[in-house]
Amino acid sequence: MKKILIVNGSKRKNGNSYALEKVACEKLNGKADVITFNIGEKDVKVCQACDGCKRQHTPNCVIKDDFTALIPEMDKCDAMLILAPVHWDQFPAQLKAVLDRTYSFMDFSQQDFSMASRKDKKLGGYFFAGFGPVDVYTNMVETNLKSFATAGFRQYMAHVAGNANVPGSIMEKADDLKAFDDMIAWLIA
Ligand SMILES: Cc1cc2nc3c(=O)[nH]c(=O)nc-3n(C[C@H](O)[C@H](O)[C@H](O)COP(=O)(O)O)c2cc1C
């Protein structure tokens, strides 16, 4: 069975990221080994840019917090699904902290700058926006997803669901739910 890591970047426990995390767990039940990491409930400090990781030649970060346990899960999974809101036209800060910390996977001695043990992993980024513009946010999400290549996620798929301010409102959006189904199917294919 494929191993799927779900990273939830929302602080709203009754919100849309959590609603689709539940749906994903139900859909993947019996089809994949699922591990969830809800950043909003974790302690993930910001990257100190100390280059401590560059001196140990492993993907480990010298900061010891909840990101420590996430590193091997990111390294060994088959695919990662990120569920998160757009905050001020960007990744929410807590998710950006996770992305920045994947700098620990960077290896300047490698041609592809990566010391990930697997470099064939898939990444789905499913985001929620209260308003829009959804096309601009999709470009923003894709730009950020590309940076996860250093951690071995070389293929990505992005979707932004707009008009999603009301907690749980995603469950009434047929087109966005279809896009979610397609993303899940691609991640486990
Ligand atoms: C601090 C903050 C900033 C936000 N910035 C934007 C924004 O720039 N554009 C937008 O469309 N929605 C914005 N929103 C609305 C959220 O993206 C929207 O409510 C989303 O559905 C929340 O997802 P969640 O329920 O998974 O947390 C913002 C919300 C917060 C709390």
- CA angle 76/81/86 to nearest 5° reads 135
Termini Cα distance of the chain: 11
Query: Taking 90 as the threshold, does the pLDDT of residue 56 lie above it?
Result: no
The pLDDT, as a whole number, for residue 57 is 84
Taking residue 94's Cβ as centre, other Cβ atoms within 10 Å add up to 19
Contact between 148 and 84 under an 8 Å Cβ cutoff? The reply is no
Taking residue 143's Cβ as centre, other Cβ atoms within 10 Å add up to 11
Query: Taking 90 as the threshold, does the pLDDT of residue 160 lie above it?
Result: yes
Question: How high is the mean pLDDT of the chain?
Answer: 97
Query: Taking 90 as the threshold, does the pLDDT of residue 30 lie above it?
Result: yes
User: Quick one: average pLDDT of 20-36?
Assistant: 98
The pLDDT, as a whole number, for residue 10 is 98
Q: Is 132 in the pocket of ligand 1 (CB under 6 A)?
A: yes
Of ligand 1's listed atoms, the one at least distance from the Cα of 131 is: 11
Distance between CA atoms of residues 189 and 174, nearest Å: 22
Of ligand 1's listed atoms, the one at least distance from the Cα of 88 is: 8
Of ligand 1's listed atoms, the one at least distance from the Cα of 169 is: 21
65 confidence band (pLDDT: 50, 70, 90): very high
What separation in Å is there between the alpha carbon of 167 and the centre of ligand 1? 10
User: Quick one: average pLDDT of 96-114?
Assistant: 96
Output the residue whose Cα is nearest ligand 1's atom 4.
Answer: 87
Domain 2-188 classification at class level? alpha beta
> Among 88, 139, 170, which residue has the most ligand 1 atoms within 8 Å of its CB, making it the best to mutate?
88
The pLDDT, as a whole number, for residue 13 is 97
> Among 140, 165, 166, which residue has the most ligand 1 atoms within 8 Å of its CB, making it the best to mutate?
165
What residue segments make up the domains of the chain, in order of their start? 2-188
62 confidence band (pLDDT: 50, 70, 90): very high
Of ligand 1's listed atoms, the one at least distance from the Cα of 85 is: 23
29 confidence band (pLDDT: 50, 70, 90): very high
User: Quick one: average pLDDT of 21-32?
Assistant: 98
